[in-house]
Structures are given as structure tokens and as C-alpha cells.
Amino acid sequence: MSKLMKVNIIHTVMWGMVAVGLGVIFSLSNTISSWGDNRTKTVLLAILFFGGFLTDFILWQYEKSKKHGFRRDERDKKVQSEAVFKSFTILIIYIFVVSVVLYTKYENAGVMPVGWVWFIAYSTIAATNLLVGVFALIGYKKQGL
């Protein structure tokens, strides 16, 4: 298993944990309807995302360090490019479907709880990182790296 594959596994596992935490927090009762009134849930989400981005920063520094001997060749660039493209396609569909469903649900009410906007924002970031990681792992596995 290559070093890049190992780094990608750590990245994917971390963002998987962030996504699960996000799902748990938003599935709790009254999270959406009382978003602005619950600082605890907001702080928990901030901590989760800080952990995800901190992990990304540490991994980036680790890869950038010359003493660890990371080298990216054209295969790595191809795997990453395909992973980003596939993730981007799925995310566009995800945002469109969620937006249409929310519009349909709240069309007659005239107002949508702001918690849903926060959900879309947070879930898009978590899904982006998770999907890119998963598709990269699949790409590396197909190439036998």
C-alpha cells in the first residue's frame, strides 16, 4: 500500500466520522427548527469540522515534507482528477435534489427554517471530502496501488 493511499484512508475515515457526527446532530429533535437557539449543537459541529480540517492540514504538511518522500506521478493525478470529477457530479445532483425537496416541502408555508440552509452547507463540505476520499480509494484499488 502506497503512502498516498494510507494518507487518503486517514482523510476518508476522518471525514466519515465528521459526516456521521453531522448526521447525528441534525437528526436530533428540534435541531432544524431551533437552529439559532442551540449553541451547543453549533459548537459541536464547529469542533467536528475543525477536526476534519485540522487533519487535512496535518496530512498536507506531512505530504509536503521532503523527509517523507512523497512523489505524485501521472497515475496519482489521474486518480485524484477522476475522484474530484465523480464527487463533483454527485454533489451537484445532491444539492439540486435537496433544494427541490425542501422547496416542495415548504412552498405553501412560505418560510423554510434556517437550519436547513446550515444543513446543506455543512453536509456539502462533509460529503465533498468524504466522496473524494472514497472515489480516490476506489481508483487506487483499481490500479493496484
- Which residues lie below 8 Å from residue 102, measured CB to CB, with a gap of 6+? 112, 116
Cβ proximity of 135 and 17 under 8 Å:
no
The model's confidence at residue 83, banded by pLDDT at 50, 70 and 90, is: very high
- Which residues lie below 8 Å from residue 99, measured CB to CB, with a gap of 6+? 120
The model's confidence at residue 134, banded by pLDDT at 50, 70 and 90, is: very high
Cβ proximity of 49 and 18 under 8 Å:
yes
Q: Over the stretch 95-114, which tens digit does the pLDDT of each residue have?
A: 999 999 999 999 999 899 98
- Domain regions of the chain by residue span: 3-143
Helix intervals (H) in the chain: 3-27, 39-64, 74-106, 114-143
Mean pLDDT of 67-83: 83
Q: Minimal CA–CA distance to 124: which of 82, 95, 103, 93? A: 95
Percent of the chain whose pLDDT exceeds 90: 63
Instruction: Report pLDDT for 145.
Output: 63
pTM of the model: 0.86
**More confident of the two residues 19 and 62:** 19
